Structure 1
């Protein structure tokens, strides 16, 4: 019976996913270079929604009381450290479609200035900007992912497509204390979109992952990532009783790659699935919050607290869904989905240096998004334009 129910839920989920915007689905396979890839970026932005449409009134322009001045100052210093030609390639309007052209794959045209062309002084300024925006944990994770991309270059013997410095930065708008602006880090397995308006911050979409997840030898031996995301998801499913697991697990066996909201999927229509927070006890709810905080905590502490307060307001309407096994050797996918946050974790098939047909714990993808129109701070920017003449 449980197997039948799980299959039924998975069929419903599949039907829901089918109604995702066609451009977004096709674009992921073709990328920005293909005709449909470009279309997915130029389509009007809606954001991640469910079949009921955009839920209004979730985000508002307000003071958080958490300063963004160190971020602005570091961004100005970074831009001042660039040459004139580098700056011309790096700065885009705050509402430019460039925000949406990020790609977590390794072969993709990138804009902006690359770490591979920066001087040591410029790299220092770039990391200072990232460091003022991210938590210490978030910065270290970002740098470790970059290092592991260097490990992948060693394993694949391919420094043209992989490497520690194959990451690019763009600045959207002019860094300001009052006007909206932001920055983007774009590269293989690490993408951060960071929107700033006054003292408000929206850090999404964020893609973090790696293959391999640990450097066991080579230049970056010892670097390891994504273990807390992996373990805290497993800890939550392990806390559920049999009845709760039957509701949370939408498919017992994991086949292939399951993430739904990676690059070029800004307008995916995705209905809630799994078990809602309202059916969890206090211990389980705390584990759910701890899981979300693992991702949100890549932001600087003050801004992360603001974000977590948004998440907590909708905790009863936060759904936890699972695909795959539940042992400490299993491969799996999980999703946390509420009106204000969407998180996906996925064990992926091996791609380099050789492909496999089955998912592995050594290739992980994660995504965090802000549903209902506020990825890239779009809803806040819309409200700003509505109340200010530009």
Structure 2
């Protein structure tokens, strides 16, 4: 990073300015929903770290609850927390709600007037962005979940960061197609095909892909975690008929994929990363692995992304392992993950006939800045 260029401190300043500007537009009723005090207890902090990627209540002020100028200010804040590529991708994903609505026949759903709704994206700020204490913000809705913590005047933590797409592939005029997450999928498949037979035998955990990312929306993924069923990735539960429908969707998908308990065991999270470590890859393969990793850490804005990339410079990449499950060709259900020190990146493309994908970048132990906050409290409240 060159002198005078963006840094975690300048990113935090941009976030604070955008967050304060958004809050200033809110009336008292809106502030009660969108701008919360910094949590003063572990119980209160539970809401700050609660997150989703399903079309459920993510907590905060929705687009529908804002005037256009307020929504513009909200999007300005979102833009401070993402790279240009990340912001364009997130904006495209939100627009896909209109496409998905058409795919499903413009029906109601999820106990809402409009089940697929580009207006159901939520923003909430925790703490005072103009003060000296810690503060954070989250922006989320169906297939988008962005979190940032500002601590001691720096953008200290930006994970988890989730991006999904449904549909994953959409037709465009002129015989083109829209694939907002195509690079995340294609770069990993390129790496898979670059492996020799022995390497691939180590990288492929099972020929059957799981029905979703394994870490799901857990606050702290741990070894032994397995896939969370779809009905449990919502804020609360629905009436019995809708709950039964969600279970039917989940069970039906696992049945079509042919998932067995052996497959679940093969893809569960482990303390020692499964798959092929970068230390056993060729130089060209390692560069491909860096390319896959960039589709995750590259979501962060300039000034923060350099810090995240630096954690995998040189031999530090050795501890990152690449693991795959499912088919090796486009159009076949598949899953992969990158796992290493302070890294868990997951991709799953199995749903809706392999036209509905999920991806997440996580920094286990550091998500939401929980470790940094613990150190901060110990230092300032001894």
Q: Same fold (TM over 0.5)?
A: yes
CA distance in 1, matches of 2:22, 2:169: 31
SS at structure 1 position matched to 2:26: coil
Look up the match of 1:164.
118
The 1:279–1:94 alpha-carbon spacing in structure 2 relative to 1, beyond 3 Å, is farther
Normalised TM-score (structure 2): 0.77
Q: CA contact under 8 A between 1:110 and 1:168: conserved in structure 2?
A: yes
Give the aligned partner of residue 386 of structure 1. 378
- Equivalent in the alignment of 2:320: 318
1:235 aligned to 190, 207, 210, which one?
190
1:330 aligns with 2:323: no
Shift of 1:127: 0.9
Deviation string 1:115-149 (CA, Å, 9 cap, x unpaired) is 12211101110111111221111111111110001
Separation in 2 of the partners of 1:226 and 1:253? 22
Deviation at 1:79, TM superposition (A): 0.8
What is the rounded CA distance, in whole Å, between the counterparts of 1:314 and 1:342 in structure 2?
A: 15
- How far, CA to CA, are the matches of 1:119 and 1:330 in structure 2? 43
The runs of 4+ residues in structure 1 deviating greater than 4 Å are 63-67
Unaligned runs of 5+ in 1: 1-62, 351-359
Residue by residue over 1:233-283, the C-alpha shift from the partner in whole angstroms, topping out at 9 and shown as x without a partner, is: 1011111111111111111233x5141111235343221100111111221
CA 1:293/1:119 → structure 2, altered by over 3 Å: closer, same or farther? same
Q: Distance in 1 between matches of 2:36 and 2:309?
A: 30
1:56 corresponds in structure 2 to none
Q: What is the CA–CA distance in structure 1 between the aligned matches of 2:8 and 2:81, rounded to whole Å?
A: 15
CA RMSD, 1 decimal: 2.2
Is 2:159 the partner of 1:204? yes
> Would you say 1:82 and 2:26 are equivalent positions?
yes
Contact (CA 8 Å) 1:69, 1:177: kept in 2 or not?
A: no
Instruction: Provide the rounded CA distance (Å) in 2 between the counterparts of 1:70 and 1:252.
Output: 46
Please state how far the C-alpha of 1:314 moved relative to its aligned partner: 3.2
TM-score, with length taken from structure 1: 0.75
Unmatched segments (≥5 aa) in structure 2: 1-6, 40-44, 109-113, 224-268
* Alpha-carbon displacement from aligned partner over 1:315-369 (angstroms, at most 9, x marks no partner): 111111000122234331000001111000001222xxxxxxxxx3311011111
Query: In the aligned structure 2, how far is the partner of 1:258 from the partner of 1:341?
Result: 18
Among 80, 96, 103, which residue is 1:148 paired with?
Answer: 96
1:52 maps to what in 2? none
* 3-state SS, counterpart of residue 257 of structure 1: coil
Measure the CA separation in 1 of the matches of 2:316 and 2:72. Answer: 39
Q: Is the 8 A contact 1:72 1:177 kept in 2?
A: no
Q: 194-203 or 235-244, which moves further after superposition?
A: 194-203
Aligned to 2:64, what secondary structure does the other structure show? coil
SS in 1 for 2:349: strand
Distance 1:293 1:250 in 2: 23
Aligned residues: 314
Distance, in Å, in 2 between the alignment partners of 1:250 and 1:176 is: 48
Checking the alignment, whether the CA contact within 8 Å between 2:11 and 2:80 is kept in structure 1 is no
Match of 1:361 among 331, 349, 354: 354
Distance between the aligned counterparts of 2:221 and 2:331, measured in 1?
A: 34
Cα distance in 2 between the residues matched to 1:236 and 1:81: 47
Shift of 1:100: 2.7
Structure 2 match to 1:280: 281
| Map of 1:174 onto structure 2 | 128
Q: Partners in 2 of 1:176 and 1:339 — Cα distance?
A: 34
- Taking structure 1 as reference, are residues 229 and 94 closer, same or farther at Cα in structure 2, changes over 3 Å only? farther
